[in-house]
Amino acid sequence: MKKHIVCFGDSNTHGYCADPTDTVTGGNRFDETERWTCLLQQKLGEGYLVLEEGLSGRTTVFPDALHESMDGLGVIYSTLMSHEPVDLLVIMLGTNDTKERLGVNAACIAIGMERLVLKAKSTQCWAGEPNILIVCPPHIRKELYDNPCGVPMGNGCIEKSQELAKYLEPSARNVGAAFLDAQGVAEFNTVDGMHLTAKGHRQLAEKLAEVIPGLV
């Protein structure tokens, strides 16, 4: 059986494109030739099955009163069980947790990630021992506040995203997960400041293709 790699994240795992001129489709989602999950599948090859589980707006554990089913904690069990046996879970979350209306700082986001990872580890889905890679998203850029989507995101998002890695890295150690900081690895766009460019998708896929074989 192929090794099952579950990629659990938000709009940057789903493939949202904030700049239609940056995608071959001209739409608001990168296609299968552009998304990092699909590119990762190509790079890893036939021995792996890369499974996309991205939802725009998803958080680690924090419910969002404006949208349904946004907290990862509420769906991680069913998600993992639907893909068993799982060899590796890649979690890239945290950008949406910075929203002002959720009222949490970077330290709390990291604690939320720990809780999510512990729930995932307790799920009876694993091919072997629980195996999780936490990816800290790139820093939100200043362009967020110049874009209409920055208004509902609220204040403080940029600052919290800049602090997130320093809390997520020790949190990963606390729960026995591997850690990758995507800052400086994959670029965010200059349109809304919080979504990967086509180049950013390629960069992230390349880095993960280097890291993942050593984890599974």
User: What domains, with CATH codes, occur in the chain?
Assistant: 3-214 (3.40.50.1110)
Report whether 136 contacts 165 (CB < 8 A).
yes
**With bands split at pLDDT 50, 70 and 90, how would you rate the model's confidence at 123?**
very high
pLDDT attached to residue 65? 94
CA dist 194 and 215 (Å) reads: 28
pLDDT attached to residue 184? 96
Q: Where are the alpha helices (DSSP H) in the chain?
A: 11-14, 36-44, 76-82, 106-122, 150-153, 157-174, 198-211
- pTM assigned to the model: 0.97
User: What percentage of residues in the chain have a pLDDT greater than 70?
Assistant: 100
pLDDT attached to residue 168? 98
pLDDT attached to residue 81? 98
Query: What tens digit of pLDDT does each residue of 55-85 get?
Result: 999 999 999 999 999 999 999 999 999 999 9
**With bands split at pLDDT 50, 70 and 90, how would you rate the model's confidence at 212?**
very high
